[in-house]
Structure 1
């Protein structure tokens, strides 16, 4: 059985996130540790961590992942924004460790006109400033490529690690299906899926892909637009997700959906992934 869940709220406490995930039918999950559109990291103490770990263990739920705030921009040429970003990521990594959450993911950011090479180098420099806790793996998320964002290609993601003082012992990759599709990676056929897997393996190494975000796309292949749709209901379609979640390269990875919050909801998408994986 695939390990799949959804992004859930921490309102009322981190242990409440476990209860919400259980109600959705998920066996893994994703949370924020602060407002996704602010810089403040929620104060997390040992009692929060103990309650969360106990609830997750009781329901045999995990591994969990924390998603970084959307304001983070490691690619920026602006030093003040870079300093805020590094401080925020460090705080969120430390919160992961306190909670016992083994994964943390964030978007590398945008170079805002400084150029892709400079943007990638900036990400590497800021990664080098981090003290990644021993029990947490930081994951770079591939991007759709809109505007001046970096991380659209697997080669760029690998360069961010290679140019930093970090290694793949502390850093990995989270692949987002909507972003892959928007960036021009077509895995809607079996042949296309094999080509995607080969490209990931050559540039990054499959062993460094540690988590997956499952989102369909509202826009065509290569659009560079990051707008999520329900699994199987968008431009990727059921066939694309069938190839993705059942391929031997990714079938055992933890997966979370970040699909629209409308009439279908997360529970529908979690069940849809399970049905496609059967």
Structure 2
């Protein structure tokens, strides 16, 4: 079954987030387990988890994914920030496990002048320090490449995994369309789309891509700017998205939207993706 959803708030509780997802027309979803711009992680008790699981089952919304706070930086050369990031990721992983959510995704971070090789090595080293709970997989998200962020290139994501103490049984990849496009990966015609799929398979492996973030881009190909736009209304466009989401190698992977929340909102974007997927 085609799984498409959006990032939803937990402000009214985890069960309410499931209901909100269903109202939007989604059948999978993404949440934070704390403030996206803070270090605090929400307390998740068994009552919260039971209510969430019951709602997800009732509305048939799955699989879910937790997005890590934006402050996490495993690539940093600063020991204090690295320690804080590791502790935060660990706490968010425990919350993810309590909710029985199978995936946790975060941005690898920035090397802030230490060099990309050092940044990538730092990510691998700090991933190795985590205790990944049973039933949870960490997904590394590709980045747009702005500034000193690491993870713009697919081989770099693979290096983070291969150089860590874990492997692709515990770690995986989440691909963001806006980030791919901003990093210079094109979906402009069938040939370049096939080239992208070939590179994904040759680096991280298609079987290790477990989730997709769908976002159009406000900026042109290769801009390295991470600014999301409504599906079909940015530089990727409807044709690019149709090509991406219907490709045989990607069409069965769960997809969530992180598009702007203004007058159109998530429901409009979910419906747009459904039409593109159906070939309308």
TM range (shorter): over 0.9
> Is the Cα contact below 8 Å between 1:144 and 1:180 reproduced in 2?
yes
Separation in structure 2 between the aligned mates of residue 184 and residue 23 of structure 1, nearest angstrom? 35
Quote how far apart the aligned CAs of 1:141 are: 0.1
What CA RMSD, in Å, does the superposition of the two structures yield over aligned residues?
0.6
> Is the Cα contact below 8 Å between 1:188 and 1:237 reproduced in 2?
no
Quote how far apart the aligned CAs of 1:192 are: 1.1
Q: How does 1:170-185 map to 2 (within 5 A)?
A: 170-185=170-185
Correspondence for 1:44: 44
Separation in structure 2 between the aligned mates of residue 13 and residue 23 of structure 1, nearest angstrom? 15
SS at match of 2:48: helix
Quote how far apart the aligned CAs of 1:190 are: 1.0
> Is the Cα contact below 8 Å between 2:19 and 2:59 reproduced in 1?
no
Q: Does the alignment pair 1:55 with 2:55?
A: yes
Q: How does 1:142-221 map to 2 (within 5 A)?
A: 142-221=142-221
Separation in structure 1 between the aligned mates of residue 202 and residue 37 of structure 2, nearest angstrom? 35
Q: Over residues 102-135 of structure 1, what are the superposed CA-to-partner deviations in whole Å (9 max), with x where a residue is unaligned?
A: 0000000000000000000000000000111110
Separation in structure 1 between the aligned mates of residue 82 and residue 30 of structure 2, nearest angstrom? 25
The normalised TM-score by structure 1 is: 0.99
Q: How does 1:1-278 map to 2 (within 5 A)?
A: 1-278=1-278
Separation in structure 2 between the aligned mates of residue 105 and residue 239 of structure 1, nearest angstrom? 27
> Is the Cα contact below 8 Å between 1:185 and 1:222 reproduced in 2?
yes
Separation in structure 2 between the aligned mates of residue 241 and residue 264 of structure 1, nearest angstrom? 18
Gaps of 5+ in 1: none
Quote how far apart the aligned CAs of 1:67 are: 0.3
> Structure 1 stretches (4+) deviating beyond 6 angstroms?
none
Separation in structure 2 between the aligned mates of residue 124 and residue 117 of structure 1, nearest angstrom? 11
Quote how far apart the aligned CAs of 1:265 are: 0.4
Separation in structure 2 between the aligned mates of residue 137 and residue 193 of structure 1, nearest angstrom? 27
Gaps of 5+ in 2: none
Separation in structure 2 between the aligned mates of residue 245 and residue 220 of structure 1, nearest angstrom? 20
Separation in structure 2 between the aligned mates of residue 242 and residue 261 of structure 1, nearest angstrom? 22
Quote how far apart the aligned CAs of 1:2 are: 2.0
The normalised TM-score by structure 2 is: 0.99
> Is the Cα contact below 8 Å between 1:188 and 1:241 reproduced in 2?
no
SS at match of 1:21: helix
SS at match of 1:187: coil
> Is the Cα contact below 8 Å between 1:216 and 1:229 reproduced in 2?
yes
Separation in structure 2 between the aligned mates of residue 268 and residue 2 of structure 1, nearest angstrom? 17
Separation in structure 2 between the aligned mates of residue 203 and residue 11 of structure 1, nearest angstrom? 38
